Structure 1
Amino acid sequence: MTTASSSQVRQNYHQDSEAAINLQINLELYASHIYLSMSYYFDRDDVALKNFAKYFLHQSREERERAEKLMKLQNQRGGRIFLQHIQKPDHDDWERGLYAMACALHLEKCVNQSLMELPKLQVKSIKELGDHVTNLCKVGPWTGVGQVPLCPPAFQHISRYF
């Protein structure tokens, strides 16, 4: 693996956020791969469930497009994209429509859970930055040891409590 060069546009983009977006990209691509497998299973001449094939092909495209949007976001933020190997589906034979739909439901819940974790990462970063600002306001200009000449106006209401 080559070392990524530093970005000229990266600003306030924590490495944990970058890594989480990369994980999500890879999960979306994995889901797309699973749906593609399902689609072409149901398209086979011995299965011939065309509407299932069409539905799963549509799902595959949606997952891939979501991955592409995340890759675009990663580049816009100055992050680096690290694609992983896409794991082969556990099944090549999706048996019946009900079984495939149950697998798809489980897959969507996994993708959704992963998406729900992303804001938690951001909340952690916001809390960390807020704590830093609060601590800097505590040692504000009246003590002579503050790092800034005065607490930013947006945070003055915080400093009066300390």
Structure 2
Amino acid sequence: MRAIELLPAGTWKDAADAVLLDHDHRHRRRFLLKTVSGEDCMLDLPQAVALRHGDGLRLEDGRILAVQAMAERVLDIHAHDEDALMRIAWHLGNRHLPVQFLPGLIRIRYDHVIAEMVEGLGGHAEEEDAPFDPESGAYAPGTGGHHHHHGHDDDDHKH
């Protein structure tokens, strides 16, 4: 069985089976997967992609496998108010950590050092076993890319 096409979440229906993958195993091009029902499936895509929870993989025979995020050891980060949570989010981003935003909290992979930092910033970090499906990031394909504006053209501005 070969998976040959990525179908973004919401663009497909009726999966024949599913693959349960942790975050590290959801950015692939070619990889041997084991379905939930126990079958082997070769992921064989033209380029590496970041598989997201809810995506589908079209098999050569037309059937679809659902991609599901596996429960992992994570930290769910809460704060007393939105300002504190935004400040914590800035510190997490400054460390280039993958983050998942959920209503009222930020989820990251478990890291005891970061948990201590969060507590020091006035937040609370609760260890959980839960699916981790972080933001793909501003530089990921399909997000509009990365643009810089360097300098300016004097003809466009009145001085």
TM-score by length of 2: 0.25
More helix by share: 1
More strand by share: 2
TM-score by length of 1: 0.24
Larger radius of gyration: 1
